[in-house]
Chains A and B, each alone.
Chain A
Amino acid sequence: MATANTEEEKSKSEQQKNHGGGGGFTRWAVLAVIFRLTLIYFPGNLNLSSRPEVSTPLTSIRRLAEGYWLKQSSMSPYAGSMYHGSPLLLSVLGPLTVKRIEGQPSHILCSLVFVLADLISAILLRATGRKLQMAYRKSLKSLNLLNKSTDSGGLSSGDIAALVYLWNPFTIVACVGLSTSPVENLFNILTLYGAATGIAPLAAFGWVMATHLSLYPAILIIPVILVLGYGPDAPPSKLFRSKENGKVGDDKSSQEIIFSWGRVLHLLVWTSVWSVYVLVLCSISVKQHSSLQEMFQRTYGFILTVEDLSPNIGVLWYFFAEVFDFFRDFFLIVFHSNILFMILPLAIRLKHRPCFLAFVYIAISSMLKSYPSVGDPALYLGLLGLFLDELADMQFCFFLFCGYVGVSVLSPVMHNLWIWRGTGNANFYYATAMAYACFQIVLVVESVSSMLNHDRKLMKLSASKLQK
């Protein structure tokens, strides 16, 4: 963890050195941090940390504190069914949950860690955005299409993505509500940043940590390999090829995109190094009272078998509370494989845009995961900002916006009616979860389709240019 922190710090400082000039962004980022701190110092009656939208069994800070207490009283942190997170997170955040500073809110240290994680995520997101935009421009220039889609002169898409991430109410709620998802998001973004800047060790570290923390980012290995192999997002390779064909006949030039196996191998080596490192750290931290096997059972097993049926914003809890026991295993397999089924078709169709592919994977997994929280949409909505130029003519934007707002208003209301007032029932809350799932589906489908359309448009443009 220490090395990770120093690396983060280094990258952060680099970023600040490189892009110190972005005054608008800095101002807004500082404002976002101040806003978070204000909310943290708000009288502790916001009760965000026990909202089902914020704290799932995996991300709840109270469960983490319970796990730490069990560990302190010389028991396995996984004894009982309270804690299901990583032992590393426990050893880093655990002491902070207990330590109190006089005159400060009780969880101030944890909150500061989460605010810092959010800030670093935003900075990394901005750097990733810049990298992507540079690559985008470069490829457009090589296709002589740049003048057609020049930027509007305002903030770049990286800045917008970072600000969307920082100012998204979901992110703010997840950060102030003391869920551990800011840390998970940080490692996801770190993976993308490492991949986009071509730093294989960093990407490997981010990927290993993100997978260790929440399992679902495991599928990000495909986009990461593609990014490192092909480089960041570019128009389809067909386009380049047809352009080459148009120019100099059958001559294969150096512009042909080749898959660089060296970097991928580099990545894989580093991945295995980091995995071993993380496993060794885990086994050191759990060896006293439990074992690695128990850790896997209680973290990954808990995620995959949907044991906890407490309500959340996902669709699986109510399903598995109601479904007949006989079919439980079948549906578990079906629902989890729904994520896996889409991996290959998406990878084939979007292999030239690996960062966007990563966004789609993250969105799909945060929609179908067993214990989603508001931290997950925070991440993919932030990433969505990276592709502003490409997704400029996406359909149903306003509809989706209204849908997200409506669901995030209605869902707490329905939860309150059901749990606290006793006047509603579970179906109302479930209905909002279904609506939310549908909006996410529309978002994913529309963004994929508009990205494909964008590529078609580029192709058409280049074809018309060639014909001229």
Chain B
Amino acid sequence: MWLPLRLTLLFLFLLLSPRALLRSGSAAVVSGEEEEFHEELLLKPLPDRKVLAHFHFHSIAPPSKSNGRHHHLFPKAISQLVQKFRVKEMELSFTQGRWNYERWGGFDPISSNNAKPPGVELWAVFDVPEDQVDAYWKNLTNSLSGLFCASINFLESSTMYSAPKWSFRITPGSLRYGTLPREAVCTENLTPWLKLLPCRDKAGLAALLDRPSIYKGFYHSQRLYLTSNASVPAETVSGISLEQTLTVVLQPNSPSSSSIHSGESNFQPSWSLSSIFGRKISGKCVIAQSSIVYLQLEKSIFSEQKDNMDNGPNSLASEGFAGGSGFEMSLDPDIVIEEENQSQHKGSSVLYGFWVEKYNESQPLDLGLKWKYPVFWSSQQAPLHASRFLMGSGNERGAIAILFKSTNSADSSSGSRHVSDGCELQVDVFQVVPWYIKVYYHSLQIFVDDEAKPIGDFVHKIQVSPSKDKTSPGMMEMLLKLPCDVRSAALTLEFDKGFLHIDEYPPDANQGYDIPSAVISFPRFHSVMHLLSNDSIRKSPLLSRFQEKNRVQSYTEVLLVPLTTPDFSMPYNVITITCTVFALFFGSLLNVLRRRVGEEERYLKAGKKKGWLRVLLSRLLAKFRGKPMEEPDQPSSESAPLIGKKLVLKVILVAVLAVAWQFYST
């Protein structure tokens, strides 16, 4: 009995196995060729003695028919999300802290792409007809909310998102944009983010992410950016490229330098990976195609060095790490990449690359930087520095002001060089205002160099979608054209503060409400690094991302607006008191109207003018009293049917009313 069963099983296995083998083989081939994962880390000392660490993880799932819904490296959650909600492009960022554009730079690719407003920012482009976009957006926010343990689902409500036309991104499409400035970002958001990486934080560069050292930094932004090429045939699964970045700004503490050098305030702190993260890199994530650590230094450091020291290195290109310059690296770089020095434009930089695969458990990568001499440099700035503030006091009204300040008044010529036609500086402003801030768009004023100017001279294009109470936020898109030699420009908009229903206030109502950051972008300026083309650059997704042409973009501060609150403990009192006043009105007025003074009472009683009810009553009384007296011999049987008829009529009337009521109420 056992034998035949075993035989059949064997037979079945033989029958199935070639196919299974074939499938696994093909999958292996496809994945070996196509699905990719790259991990990179960029370290950059910042002018204000801090260190920027920028982790960049890139997963690519190519469009394929063969492996169906299954992936080798690519996170399944994301690919399902893309398939289900037809996402063409999406960016989600969680940020804590504010990017300091003045000190940390506002022109380079990192600040344009990775500096994000505080809280959560989400935008997505969908590949669906325009009328379905909102539904897809709502579903997407709810899934992301579950995926990242965040309250992204609040973006579902139509008061929270908007559809910018041209100022946020140039490419039109079914774009939706929403922010949650109040969202607190913590490890609970980081863990699901790390889960999307194939090695999680067990191996590779992500192993550096020691939670306490990350979250004690000044700025922390984790970001997820994905694009899918939706233009593939329906049966194949679309290819997705997922870019996960984590940007942190940390303060290295170097007790040794402070003890040794007397003028410590002049010195940049020396640091190493282990001192800022508390960990070292003990090897790459084995699945990763590439695993590189870059160290980026501004070239102006070298030039300064050259000025300071006569016996400087004979050429900047000849590897300043050797010892002639003001700093010392603990490791020798495997590759040096220089930014192409197109012109005298400052801010070009040098990248030192370190292959992580050369290091292992016994010999971990612990890159360190030690400064020998005090050096100063400044980061490259966007043409205008934008800040935003509130004006006015009290809880009734106020004004929003956006102030642009020229950053490079000295070399305005270099700024104007970018402008092709005439000396104009184009600025795109994209501002979303919640509905309870009722903005008067007609009160828009513009001040150029502290002088009020007519709006038409500078506002080239403006598009407003005013806010609707409890329905949609107000959105303003504006294209400004300012002269190049402008020193400062300010926009002001007046608003009234709204009053909400008692249920619409959040738990801590007196804390105030946030106006999300405005997005300021400079369409004629592109943050792009011209790197000397090299084979290794093409392979590295981080560097190829740096070489993309992106608009210079910056976010303004989030504004906190205090709103007036009603007394939250009052609903019952208010209802009773108001109703009492209404009752007082109704009762006393009705009383005055129906009151009769003594004579009128008598006048009425005299019977000159009786109401029909009274007449009826008196007749009835007469009937009751008089009739039996007048006709005592009449049998009661005759009067009984009379009353009976009336009674029957009344009963029928009531019944009809009841039936009608029943009919209409159901």
Whether B590 pairs with A80 at a CB distance below 8 angstroms is: no
Whether A69 pairs with B441 at a CB distance below 8 angstroms is: yes
Whether A445 pairs with B468 at a CB distance below 8 angstroms is: no
Also in contact, A315 and B581, with CB within 8 A (given A66-B440, A420-B395, A444-B589): yes
Whether A441 pairs with B585 at a CB distance below 8 angstroms is: yes
Whether B395 pairs with A422 at a CB distance below 8 angstroms is: yes
The minimal Cβ–Cβ distance linking A179 to chain B, given in whole angstroms, is 15
Tell me the complex Cα distance, A400–B584, Å.
17
Whether B393 pairs with A322 at a CB distance below 8 angstroms is: no
Also in contact, A323 and B574, with CB within 8 A (given A66-B442, A307-B469): yes
Partner of B582, one of A81, A308, A324, A335: A335
- Number of A-B residue pairs at CB separation under 8 A: 141
The minimal Cβ–Cβ distance linking A208 to chain B, given in whole angstroms, is 28
Q: Which residue of B has the minimal Cβ distance to A79? A: B466
A 333-370 to B, binary, CB cutoff 8 A, 1 in contact else 0: 01100100110011001000000000000000001100
**Interface membership of B130, Cβ < 8 A:** no
Contacts of B566 in A (CB 8 A): 318, 321-322, 426
Whether A441 pairs with B590 at a CB distance below 8 angstroms is: no
The minimal Cβ–Cβ distance linking A87 to chain B, given in whole angstroms, is 17
Q: Which residue of A has the minimal Cβ distance to B496? A: A310
- CB interface residues, B 563-622, toward A, < 8 Å: 564-567, 570-571, 574-575, 577-578, 581-582, 584-586, 588-590, 592-595, 597, 599-600
**Interface membership of A140, Cβ < 8 A:** no
Tell me the complex Cα distance, A311–B581, Å.
18
Contacts of B496 in A (CB 8 A): 310
Contacts of A73 in B (CB 8 A): 462, 464
- CB interface residues, A 313-328, toward B, < 8 Å: 315, 317-325
Whether B442 pairs with A69 at a CB distance below 8 angstroms is: yes
Count how many chain A residues have C-beta atoms less than 8 Å from C-beta atoms of the other chain.
58
Whether A448 pairs with B593 at a CB distance below 8 angstroms is: yes
Q: Which residue of A has the minimal Cβ distance to B469? A: A81
Whether B501 pairs with A309 at a CB distance below 8 angstroms is: yes
Tell me the complex Cα distance, A448–B564, Å.
40
Whether A420 pairs with B396 at a CB distance below 8 angstroms is: yes
Partner of B586, one of A309, A321, A338, A420: A338
Q: Which residue of B has the minimal Cβ distance to A415? A: B396
B 511-541 to A, binary, CB cutoff 8 A, 1 in contact else 0: 0000000000000000000000000000000
Contacts of B464 in A (CB 8 A): 70, 73, 75
- CB interface residues, B 210-268, toward A, < 8 Å: none
Whether B571 pairs with A323 at a CB distance below 8 angstroms is: yes
Contacts of A456 in B (CB 8 A): 597, 599-600
- CB interface residues, A 396-431, toward B, < 8 Å: 418-420, 422, 425-427, 430
Contacts of B503 in A (CB 8 A): 325
The minimal Cβ–Cβ distance linking A386 to chain B, given in whole angstroms, is 20
Q: Which residue of B has the minimal Cβ distance to A338? A: B582
Whether B586 pairs with A322 at a CB distance below 8 angstroms is: no
Whether B442 pairs with A80 at a CB distance below 8 angstroms is: no
**Interface membership of B635, Cβ < 8 A:** no
Whether A82 pairs with B589 at a CB distance below 8 angstroms is: no
**Interface membership of B50, Cβ < 8 A:** no
Contacts of B438 in A (CB 8 A): 81-82
Q: Per DSSP, are chain B's interface residues mostly helix, strand or loop, or mixed?
A: mixed
Q: Which residue of B has the minimal Cβ distance to A98? A: B442
Whether A438 pairs with B469 at a CB distance below 8 angstroms is: no
Tell me the complex Cα distance, A334–B578, Å.
12
**Interface membership of B397, Cβ < 8 A:** yes
The minimal Cβ–Cβ distance linking A464 to chain B, given in whole angstroms, is 12
The minimal Cβ–Cβ distance linking A440 to chain B, given in whole angstroms, is 8
Whether B567 pairs with A50 at a CB distance below 8 angstroms is: no
Whether B584 pairs with A434 at a CB distance below 8 angstroms is: no
Contacts of A319 in B (CB 8 A): 574-575, 578
Partner of B441, one of A70, A81, A419, A430: A70
Tell me the complex Cα distance, A179–B487, Å.
40
Q: Which residue of A has the minimal Cβ distance to B462? A: A73
Also in contact, A80 and B468, with CB within 8 A (given A322-B575, A342-B589): yes
Tell me the complex Cα distance, A50–B438, Å.
14
The minimal Cβ–Cβ distance linking B491 to chain A, given in whole angstroms, is 16
Partner of B593, one of A79, A346, A422: A346
Tell me the complex Cα distance, A255–B649, Å.
45
B 376-403 to A, binary, CB cutoff 8 A, 1 in contact else 0: 0000000000000000011111000000
The minimal Cβ–Cβ distance linking B394 to chain A, given in whole angstroms, is 4
The minimal Cβ–Cβ distance linking A306 to chain B, given in whole angstroms, is 11
Q: Which residue of A has the minimal Cβ distance to B442? A: A69
Tell me the complex Cα distance, A427–B396, Å.
17
Whether A345 pairs with B593 at a CB distance below 8 angstroms is: yes
Tell me the complex Cα distance, A445–B440, Å.
42
Tell me the complex Cα distance, A70–B440, Å.
10
**Interface membership of B465, Cβ < 8 A:** yes
Q: Which residue of A has the minimal Cβ distance to B581? A: A437
**Interface membership of A65, Cβ < 8 A:** yes
- CB interface residues, A 240-264, toward B, < 8 Å: none
**Interface membership of A108, Cβ < 8 A:** no
Whether A452 pairs with B592 at a CB distance below 8 angstroms is: yes
**Interface membership of B85, Cβ < 8 A:** no
Q: Which residue of B has the minimal Cβ distance to A309? A: B499
Tell me the complex Cα distance, A452–B596, Å.
10
The minimal Cβ–Cβ distance linking A109 to chain B, given in whole angstroms, is 16
Tell me the complex Cα distance, A221–B440, Å.
37
B 141-181 to A, binary, CB cutoff 8 A, 1 in contact else 0: 00000000000000000000000000000000000000000
Q: Which residue of A has the minimal Cβ distance to B580? A: A434
**Interface membership of A19, Cβ < 8 A:** no
The minimal Cβ–Cβ distance linking B594 to chain A, given in whole angstroms, is 8
- CB interface residues, A 436-456, toward B, < 8 Å: 437-438, 441, 444-445, 448-449, 452, 456
Also in contact, A62 and B440, with CB within 8 A (given A325-B503, A349-B593, A418-B564): yes
Q: Which residue of B has the minimal Cβ distance to A72? A: B442
Contacts of B63 in A (CB 8 A): none
**Interface membership of A68, Cβ < 8 A:** yes
Of A81, A319, A418, most B-chain CB atoms within 10 Å: A81
Whether A82 pairs with B466 at a CB distance below 8 angstroms is: yes
The minimal Cβ–Cβ distance linking A187 to chain B, given in whole angstroms, is 26
Tell me the complex Cα distance, A437–B582, Å.
9
The minimal Cβ–Cβ distance linking A342 to chain B, given in whole angstroms, is 6
Whether B589 pairs with A322 at a CB distance below 8 angstroms is: no
- CB interface residues, A 260-294, toward B, < 8 Å: none
Whether B585 pairs with A81 at a CB distance below 8 angstroms is: no
Contacts of A62 in B (CB 8 A): 440, 443
Whether A419 pairs with B501 at a CB distance below 8 angstroms is: no
Partner of B442, one of A65, A321, A427, A438: A65
Whether B396 pairs with A345 at a CB distance below 8 angstroms is: no
**Interface membership of A460, Cβ < 8 A:** yes
A 151-172 to B, binary, CB cutoff 8 A, 1 in contact else 0: 0000000000000000000000
Contacts of A320 in B (CB 8 A): 501
Contacts of B595 in A (CB 8 A): 449
Whether B567 pairs with A445 at a CB distance below 8 angstroms is: no
**Interface membership of B500, Cβ < 8 A:** yes
Partner of A342, one of B564, B578, B584, B586: B586
Contacts of B77 in A (CB 8 A): none
Contacts of B465 in A (CB 8 A): 79-80
Given A322-B574, A426-B567, A437-B585, 11 additional A-B pairs, CB 8 A: A81-B469, A325-B501, A338-B582, A346-B593, A419-B395, A420-B396, A425-B567, A445-B589, A445-B592, A448-B589, A448-B593
What are 10 sample pairs from A and B whose C-beta atoms fall under 8 A apart? A82-B438, A311-B499, A320-B501, A321-B566, A334-B582, A338-B586, A342-B586, A425-B567, A441-B585, A445-B585
- A residues engaging B (CB < 8 A)? 50, 52, 62, 65-66, 68-70, 73, 75, 79-82, 307-311, 315, 317-325, 334-335, 338, 341-342, 345-346, 349, 367-368, 418-420, 422, 425-427, 430, 434, 437-438, 441, 444-445, 448-449, 452, 456, 460
- B residues engaging A (CB < 8 A)? 393-397, 435, 438, 440-443, 462, 464-469, 474, 496, 498-503, 564-567, 570-571, 574-575, 577-578, 581-582, 584-586, 588-590, 592-595, 597, 599-600
